[in-house]
Structure 1
Amino acid sequence: MLTLEGLRIEMDDFQLCADLTIKQGSRVAVVGPSGAGKSTLLGALAGFVPITAGRILWEGQNISMLSPAQRPISLLFQDNNLFPHLTAAQNVGLGLRPDLRLSPAQTAQVNEALLRVGLNGMGGRKPAELSGGQQSRVALARMLLRGKPLVLLDEPFSALGPALRVEMLDLVAELMTESGATMLMVTHDPQDALRIAGQTVLVAEGIAHAPQETKALFADPPEALRRYLG
């Protein structure tokens, strides 16, 4: 279970507060106006954005002071963070060992992860030789191998076309169900939230609100969300 207890983030004239709990295994969308703090919230959870007050608890343990590497979190950005000089298999292998000195068993894990995301036989290709959707699959395979229980997605598929984005969302849903991981996904598209997330956190006017049932939230949005949706 993820708990944000009296959390406050302050940067210049920006402030974001959160008091909320997300049950383990939940798939949660994070929505709200541009500049409201959606990505900032994920950055704070991952340890890249400092918090001013409060605590971040995972399964009752305070992880607020842990470094990003020590947190039980995988974070996937829109640009996928692939290294262009490494092959797809090497990029995935980084999820197991940063020095890429993989044992035969770990190499087999990499190949299995590539197979799971539909990239069987493509491990030798570099990112420039892959389509945008295939690059996203490489990043997902690396995330899968890391095996972290809390997965944060920051608009990872916004650059993809509608059909491919739906395909990737469905793949993420499958992977999260298989692993039992808890997922928070920033998205600007209500359809993404409705497709993949049972609950949604609205970030608006300086507050990350407690998660609500996604269908109910979009069926009767509060004023801040209504203004954003137009």
Structure 2
Amino acid sequence: MLQFDQAEAILGSFHLSADFEIAPGARIAVIGPSGSGKSTLLGMVAGFVPLSAGRITYGEQDLSRLTPGARPVSILFQDQNLFPHLSVAQNVGLGLRPNLRLTPDEQAAIEDALSQVGLTDKADSMPAQLSGGQQSRVALARVALRARPILLLDEAFSALGPALKADMLALLGRIADRTKATVLMVTHDPDDARAFASETVLVMDGLAQAPVATGPLLDNPPPALRAYLG
């Protein structure tokens, strides 16, 4: 269980609070007007945004006491965080060992992860040689290899076209099924939320609200969200 226990973050004049829980393995969309704090909410979980009050726990772990690297979290951003001087296989291998001193078993695990995302033949390619969709698949392969129980995505597929984005969401779903990860996905696209997430956290007016069913929320959004969605 991922629990926000009266968690608050203050960044200058901006304030965000959250007090709810998310079931293990849930797929949650995070949606709200621009500047409402969607990325801040993910940063609170990942440890990039310090809490000013409350805590965030996962199971018996108080995440608030852990450094970002020690948290059971993987995060994907829009730029995919690929290192241009490393091959595809090496970029994926970073999910296991930052020094890339990999054992034969770990090398085999990398090959399996690349197979999951259909990039076996690209292991020795460099990121610049890949399409945007292929770069997204590399990032997902690294996530699959890390198999952390919490997966955060901050508009990771927003630069992709509709068909390719649908493929990435389907692939993300398969990886989440395999790893049993709890997924929080920031998106500005209601179609993405409907396609991937059974529940949605609405962020607005300084509050991340408890998850509710995605369909009913988007069918009848509150006025501020309706204005944002158009």
TM range (shorter): over 0.9
Give the aligned residue type for 1:83. F
**Equivalent position of 1:75 in the other structure:** 75
Q: Does 1:18 align with 2:18?
A: yes
**Equivalent position of 2:182 in the other structure:** 182
CA RMSD in angstroms, aligned pairs only = 0.8
Identity %: 57
Gaps of 5+ in 1: none
Runs of 4+ in 1 over 3 A off after TM superposition: none
**Alignment partner of 2:55: what SS?**
strand
Alignment of 1:94-173 (within 5 A): 94-173=94-173
Quote the Cα distance in structure 2 between the aligned partners of 1:159 and 1:183: 20
**Equivalent position of 1:216 in the other structure:** 216
Deviation at 1:226, TM superposition (A): 1.6
Q: Does 1:195 align with 2:195?
A: yes
TM-score (norm 1): 0.98
Give the aligned residue type for 1:199. E
Give the aligned residue type for 1:23. A
Deviation at 1:25, TM superposition (A): 0.4
Deviation at 1:227, TM superposition (A): 2.1
**Alignment partner of 1:153: what SS?**
strand
The number of aligned residues is: 230
Quote the Cα distance in structure 2 between the aligned partners of 1:199 and 1:51: 25
Quote the Cα distance in structure 1 between the aligned partners of 2:143 and 2:44: 19
Give the aligned residue type for 1:128. A
Give the aligned residue type for 2:30. V
Provide Cα deviations, 1:86-124, integer angstroms capped at 9, x if missing partner.
Answer: 000000000010000101110010011001011011100
**Alignment partner of 1:169: what SS?**
helix
TM-score (norm 2): 0.98
Gaps of 5+ in 2: none
Deviation at 1:7, TM superposition (A): 0.8
**Alignment partner of 1:224: what SS?**
helix
Provide Cα deviations, 1:185-206, integer angstroms capped at 9, x if missing partner.
Answer: 0000000000000000000010
**Equivalent position of 2:206 in the other structure:** 206
Deviation at 1:228, TM superposition (A): 1.6
